[in-house]
């Protein structure tokens, strides 16, 4: 295990192929690095961690920049220069050492630095944010060695494919490496590495009353992933949920109701908890016992209009488009009672829209419902769009269309009926009145 490449592969299960590709590109510092490399993969797929570990192992001078933090080109350029030259903050003035206002000054600074920047690397994390910045940034980073006459390599880390960047640009294409989603076996190997941490966590909660080995924890993870792998591939969320539910899984053993070998009985005990946990993924609720009939919406801190936008999203997901006029317009005309309306009253719960899963809806429809149910008439502004984006970031909404296009964006609502009903009560809104499943009652 003394070989650095083997050590890296051992540290990141399921990423042996991608590490091998990166090693071939950067593993020989004596040879020139590629001009640019584009790494694409979903959230929590190991992109940032692997790239930084590789560069640190090879002792390559590098600067890792997150474009969420560096939201302007000035901050971006100054952060790169400071990190490449090991600068932090000027202790006298409190200002950064580097001062750079535009791309030309940035290139000039790189040319005139006193240290040798040959075969150094700039890592641009959240590279998809470049699409909303100056149009000359992406072409400049792709051809940075030519502009600076210094062999500097740029690695882009992004969650979208590169083809979504240059629909209006004819740019030089980088070397592309794709990080696919982890397989179930890879996730099992990764989560099993947390055994020592989990054992310490169990000792803090239960003392020395519970002893278990790696095999017992691995069997628990296998059961855990059989439920959660279909709903979530995010390693961070799976790690959080697996640790949280393991406490509940071990409670019958601590109370001496079951033993570590009663796998079927333990599964029957934990199954309702797994089902409840799967419904509140990404919400990070404080109550550890999710089987209680508590109110998960009480743990959500949303702004007033954010709550109404979430309610509107639920209505758009669980109502048919043809029912919008009847439900949300005051003067929609008289509707003649039909045999279909009579049958709705005897509709069984399995046929209800609220039991059949959410449907996709457009942003225009979401805003139309929002304005129709909101009593206070607020003008359309960027704050509403920001709150929609926040709901997507919180995983309360899911973007199901191409994220690179603004027109025709489609979403789905992720919250269940109990949660949205609780949020509706907070703002004094009767959601049953506006759901086609209940409006006939």
Structure tokens at 263: 């796998």
Q: pLDDT digit string (tens) for 335-387?
A: 555 555 545 544 444 445 555 668 889 988 998 899 888 877 777 777 788 88
Provide the strand spans (E) within 280-343: none
Please state the rounded mean pLDDT for residues 57-83: 90
Query: Is pLDDT at 293 greater than 50 in this prediction?
Result: no
Tokens of 268: 């029957």
Instruction: Tally the domains of the chain.
Output: 3
Question: Does residue 348 share a domain with residue 407?
Answer: yes
CATH number of the domain bearing residue 44: 3.40.50.300
128 is written with which tokens?
Answer: 């998809």
Which pLDDT band holds residue 131 (cuts at 50, 70, 90)? confident
* C-beta neighbour count of 204 within 10 angstroms: 8
Give me the percent of the chain exceeding a pLDDT of 90: 32
Domain finish residue from 134, 156, 179: 179
End-to-end alpha-carbon separation of the chain, Å?
69
Domain assignment present for 326 = yes
| pTM score over 0.75 | no
Alpha carbon 101 to its chain's center:
32
The answer to whether residues 310 and 372 belong to one domain is yes
Q: Which two structure tokens, joined as six digits, stand for 205?
A: 């909660």
Instruction: Identify the burial level of 191 via C-beta atoms within 10 angstroms of its C-beta, where 0-12 means exposed, 13-18 middle and 19 or more buried.
Output: buried
* The pLDDT value given to residue 65: 93
Mark whether 173 and 192 lie in a shared domain. no
**Taking residues 286-308, what's their average pLDDT?**
62
| CA distances in angstroms from 84 to 61, 117, 437, listed in the order given | 7, 8, 60
Residue 441 within any structural domain of the chain: no
Q: Tell me: pLDDT of 237 over 70.
A: yes
| Mean pLDDT rounded to a whole number for the chain | 82
Q: What is the mean pLDDT of residues 202-212?
A: 80
Beta bridge mates, 122? 63, 154
**CB count, 10 Å around CB of 347?**
12
The encoded tokens of residue 301 equal 């801190």
277/198 same-domain check: yes
Q: pLDDT: is 205 or 219 the higher one?
A: 219
Mean pLDDT across the stretch 128-157? 91
In terms of domains, do 149 and 285 share one? no
pLDDT of residue 295: 52
Which residues constitute the domain of residue 106? 4-179
CB burial string 9-23: b at 16+ within 10 A, e below: beebbbbeebbeebb
Q: Six-digit token pair at 252? A: 């019958």
Q: Report the range of poorest mean pLDDT among 61-75, 179-193, 339-353, 381-395.
A: 339-353
What is the per-residue pLDDT for 221?
94
Which of 260, 279, 294 is the last residue in one of the domains?
A: 294
Q: Which of 110, 169, 112 is nearest to 144 (CA)?
A: 110
Would you say residue 96 lies in a domain?
A: yes
Residue 273 has pLDDT above 80, yes or no: yes
Measured N-to-C along each axis, helices 195-206 and 214-228 cross at an angle, to the nearest 10 degrees, of: 100
Residue 151: closest CA among 29, 54, 57: 29
Residues 426 and 330 in one domain: yes
Shared domain check, 419 and 380: yes
The number of beta carbons lying within 10 Å of the beta carbon of residue 245 is 22
Kindly state whether residues 20 and 160 are assigned to the same domain.
yes
279 and 217, same structural domain?
yes
- Pick the more confident residue, 403 or 88: 403
Split at pLDDT 50, 70, 90, the class of 441 is very low
The whole-angstrom separation of Cα 191 and Cα 213 is: 14
- On whether residue 106 sits in a domain, the answer given is yes
Predicted pLDDT at 249: 92
- Interval 138-162 mean pLDDT: 92
Q: Are residues 371 and 383 in the same domain?
A: yes
Question: Is the same domain home to 358 and 385?
Answer: yes
171 and 273 share one domain: no
pLDDT reading at 17 higher than 90: yes
CA distances from 86 to 10, 82, 100, 123 (A): 30, 6, 16, 15
Residue 283: predicted pLDDT: 67
User: Is residue 439 situated within a structural domain?
Assistant: no
User: Does residue 393 register a pLDDT over 70?
Assistant: yes
Q: What is the mean pLDDT of residues 86-103?
A: 66
Q: Which of 230, 262, 294 is the last residue of a domain?
A: 294
Which DSSP string do the residues of 41-59 spell out, in sequence order?
E-TTSSHHHHHHHHHHHTT
For residue 440, tell me if it sits in a domain. Answer: no
For residue 330, what are its two tokens? 């005051």
3-class secondary structure, 178: strand
Task: List the single range of 31-35, 150-154, 190-194, 371-375 with lowest mean pLDDT.
Answer: 371-375
Which residues, listed in sequence order, are joined to residue 156 by a DSSP beta bridge?
Answer: 38, 124
Beta-carbon neighbour count of residue 259 at 10 Å? 11
**Residue 79 token pair:** 């952060």
Least confident of 32-46, 190-204, 380-394: 380-394
């Amino acid at each position: 295990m003394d070989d650095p490449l083997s050590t890296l592969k051992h540290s990141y299960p399921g990423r042996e192929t991608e590490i091998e590709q990166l090693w071939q590109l950067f593993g020989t510092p004596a040879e020139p690095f590629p001009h640019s490399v584009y790494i694409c993969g979903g959230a929590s797929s190991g992109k940032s961690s692997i790239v930084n570990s590789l560069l640190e192992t090879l002792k390559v001078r590098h600067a890792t920049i997150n474009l969420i933090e560096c939201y302007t080109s000035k901050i971006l350029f100054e952060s790169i220069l400071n990190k490449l030259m090991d600068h932090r903050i000027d202790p006298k003035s409190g200002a950064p050492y580097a001062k750079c206002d535009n791309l030309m000054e940035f290139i000039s600074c790189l040319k005139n630095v006193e240290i040798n920047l040959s075969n150094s690397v700039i890592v641009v994390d959240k590279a998809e944010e470049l699409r909303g910045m100056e149009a000359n940034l992406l072409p400049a980073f792709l051809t940075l060695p030519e502009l600076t006459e210094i062999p500097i390599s740029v690695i882009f880390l992004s969650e979208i494919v590169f083809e979504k960047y240059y629909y209006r640009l004819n740019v030089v294409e980088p070397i592309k490496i794709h990080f696919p989603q982890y397989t179930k076996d890879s996730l099992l190997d990764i989560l099993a590495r947390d055994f020592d941490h989990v054992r310490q966590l169990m000792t803090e909660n239960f003392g020395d009353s519970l002893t278990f080995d790696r095999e017992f924890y691995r069997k628990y993870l296998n059961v855990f992933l059989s439920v959660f792998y279909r709903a979530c591939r995010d390693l961070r969320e799976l790690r959080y949920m697996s640790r949280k539910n393991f406490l509940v899984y071990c409670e019958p053993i601590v109370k001496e109701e079951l033993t570590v070998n009663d796998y079927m009985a333990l599964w029957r005990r934990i199954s309702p908890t797994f089902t409840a946990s799967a419904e509140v993924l990404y919400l990070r609720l404080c109550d550890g016992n999710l089987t209680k009939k508590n109110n998960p919406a009480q743990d959500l801190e949303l702004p007033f209009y954010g709550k109404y936008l979430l309610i509107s999203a639920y209505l758009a997901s669980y109502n048919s488009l043809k029912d919008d006029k009847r439900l949300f317009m005051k003067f929609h005309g008289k509707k003649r009672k039909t045999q279909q309306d009579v049958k709705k009253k005897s509709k069984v719960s399995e046929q209800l829209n609220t039991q059949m899963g959410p449907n996709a809806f457009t942003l225009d429809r979401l805003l139309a419902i929002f304005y129709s149910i909101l009593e206070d008439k607020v003008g359309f502004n960027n704050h509403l769009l920001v709150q929609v984006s926040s709901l997507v970031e919180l995983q309360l909404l899911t973007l199901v269309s191409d994220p690179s296009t603004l027109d025709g964006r489609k979403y789905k609502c992720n919250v269940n009926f109990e949660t949205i009903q609780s949020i509706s009560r907070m703002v004094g809104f009767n959601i049953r009145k506006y759901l086609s499943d209940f409006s006939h009652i």
